[in-house]
Homo-oligomer: A and B are copies of this chain.
Amino acid sequence: MDSLMHFHTDEGFFKRYEKLVIDIVIPYQEKALRDEIEGAEKSHAITNFEMAAQMLESGHCGGEFYGMVFQDSDVAKWLEAVSYSLRIKPDEALSRRADDIISLIGRAQHKDGYLNTYFTVKEPDKRWTNLEEAHELYCAGHMIEAAVAYAACTGKTELLDIMCKMADHMYQHFTCDDTPGFPGHPEVELALIRLYDYTGDSKYLELSKHFIDARGTDFFVQEAERYPWKVWGRNGNNREYAQTTAPVREQTDAVGHAVRAVYLYCGMADVAKATGDASLHNACKTLWNSIVQRRMYLTGAIGSAYEGEAFTKDYHLPSDTAYAETCASIGLIFFAKRMLSLEKRNEYADIMERALYNTVLAGMQLDGKRFFYVNPLEALPGISGEAVTHRHALPQRPTWFACACCPPNVARLLTSIGAYAWSVEENMVYSHLFISGKFAMNDVLGGTISLQTTYPKGNQIHYQFAPVSTAMNLTLAVRLPAWSDSTSITRNGNPAEYEVANGYAYLQGSFTDQDDIVVTLDMSAKRVYSSMKVSANSGKVAFMRGPLVYCAEGNDNADNVIDLVIDQHSPVTEHPEIEHDGMPTLSVGGWHMHDNGKLYSFDSPTSMPCDITLIPYYTWGNRGLHSMRVWMPQT
């Protein structure tokens, strides 16, 4: 059962984001795809499809392919977000325009099912000869995801038919014809499982498993020797970059391009789930632990280096030069959701929430109009975005990028949040994320569960029930976040009966419309410490309140946060009356340190006591160019 289709948000924290995406982000992206935004770098993505269609219809086209080799995927991600958007808020005109684009995509498809405008327009003879760089399987994957989403959300199957034909073509090429290979950028693996789940056609599971199992050879070296053409400069020798160091079941460290890594792990978890493959599940657990125990930022961000947009080494987590790509945290959320489907442990949902409420939300300006790709934990005006080592780590969100991967990824995630918030297994209804809305049961369980909360501002979550008949017989399993020191659950004012396993409270019962389950979390603001092995954080402390990481920003702190030192004895105070995007501001005692103006001095700096103001990390950079810091020295 796809929980996405059963959930509708109510007014609350996420509703605002959903609206932003539907009203601002998706329309803006459509204009970008159509090259209708003045001053923005050309996308050409729709035009590429038009030219591919012309090419197939007339044998020539009046222009050249333009954009990244994976430009098609921008259209795919937009169509996926549009699917979710149309489910939430029907829009005739948008629906018609999406249908037109889908027709155009159909016209750009070869008779044998092949679909990719780069190859159709620019390199017609080079299909499937540069899997390392050319992103054909990646683009196919995103379009498959869009196809499944569009069919599920609108009931229209034109795009699904197109992509089944493409998937059949890939199945023929890679399994029947026994052509060796696997994608340089994983994505098709998880997409094929979505297609398998939706259509039930086991070919797609088989093909996904094929790509997973094929990985880990020096195929890219052989491919580069056999077909020595390049998109950028491939040679197959950077085996960490695309996670081909070893067969996937033998991989132990999360390495290489962080988005590729987590997309791959998603496919692995999917196949493990679909086939019951324990060795694959174990590999997923090992790689999950590699990430969350040694290679993840406090904000749920991943990727410590700009070069390769990649994981680096254990405990190397620099704050100011982090890559910490928005898309990588989205991929980590995808991975967490799949680990959760394999095994219910609050750890998976806790990380999903951490990445969502911190890195993913930070990726978008509060007005939905600008985006961070890179989400550093420290911003230094004059250095961030300017020093050669910090060119990627901008201190303010820029407008649309030439490589438009993150904004459409944010859009599709935020419009499909129900898929992450809830899941159902037989008569177990799992509530993973606390997002106000109504979750409709399947026909067996019947009725609807309503979740109401002001979370992550408030600490109470209400569950109410609207059974089809008199009562809903089920087990409501509520995540107990590990950050909550004490979580109480009441049923109609009295302590509820429940069992706890792996961080979930299981409330078994018959629930009527008179029932009110209230979960009360301990969301008091707290200090967080990092492992002593993280050199960037030694002697430092950070702050969290519930799932939200906080930071100090120059605006609130005499325009300088780099000179702040936290007083270890000072309590952290909440100021609900001073809101940032509705969340309470925090304050803690400390000092601004003053030096004597010299670069190095034997004079110890003087200290000026002050109240240090902290705001939710995800709201940083919304008030102009200022310094920002998550980890601060404490004395």
Interface residues of A (CB under 8 A from B): 292-294, 296, 298, 304-305, 307-308, 310, 312-316, 318, 320-321, 378, 380, 382-383, 386-390, 483, 485, 526-535, 538-540, 544, 560, 562-563, 565, 568, 593-595, 597-605, 632-635
Complex CA gap A485/B603 in Å reads 12
Distance in Å: Cβ of A6 to nearest Cβ of chain B: 33
Residue contacts A-B, CB under 8 angstroms, 13 given: A304-B389, A307-B388, A312-B388, A314-B382, A318-B389, A527-B602, A529-B601, A529-B602, A529-B603, A531-B597, A532-B563, A539-B634, A633-B633
A526 in contact with B387 given A378-B535, A532-B593, A634-B635 (CB within 8 Å): no
Complex CA gap A605/B539 in Å reads 10
- Report whether B483 and A602 are in contact in the complex, using a CB–CB cutoff of 8 Å: yes
Given contacts A308-B388, A313-B383, A530-B599, 10 further A-B contacts (CB under 8 A): A298-B600, A310-B388, A312-B387, A316-B383, A316-B389, A531-B599, A532-B560, A532-B594, A539-B635, A540-B633
Complex CA gap A26/B172 in Å reads 66
Complex CA gap A212/B163 in Å reads 65
- Report whether B538 and A633 are in contact in the complex, using a CB–CB cutoff of 8 Å: yes
Complex CA gap A378/B527 in Å reads 27
Complex CA gap A390/B534 in Å reads 15
A535: chain B residues within 8 A (beta carbon): 320, 378, 380, 383, 562
B314, B382, B599, B635: the one contacting A293 at CB < 8 Å is B599
Distance in Å: Cβ of A557 to nearest Cβ of chain B: 13
Complex CA gap A532/B594 in Å reads 7
B296, B298, B563, B599: the one contacting A296 at CB < 8 Å is B599
Distance in Å: Cβ of A187 to nearest Cβ of chain B: 23
Distance in Å: Cβ of A118 to nearest Cβ of chain B: 26
Interface centre among A378, A526, A533, A600 (most CB of B within 10 A): A600
Closest 9 CB pairs of A and B: A539-B633, A532-B563, A312-B387, A635-B635, A313-B387, A307-B388, A316-B383, A313-B383, A532-B595
A294 in contact with B383 given A539-B539, A633-B538 (CB within 8 Å): no
- Report whether B316 and A529 are in contact in the complex, using a CB–CB cutoff of 8 Å: no
B383, B597, B604, B633: the one contacting A312 at CB < 8 Å is B383
Distance in Å: Cβ of A308 to nearest Cβ of chain B: 6
A594: chain B residues within 8 A (beta carbon): 532
- Report whether A528 and B601 are in contact in the complex, using a CB–CB cutoff of 8 Å: yes
Distance in Å: Cβ of A29 to nearest Cβ of chain B: 32
- Report whether A292 and B599 are in contact in the complex, using a CB–CB cutoff of 8 Å: yes
B293, B316, B389, B539: the one contacting A305 at CB < 8 Å is B389
A605: chain B residues within 8 A (beta carbon): 529, 532
Complex CA gap A320/B537 in Å reads 13
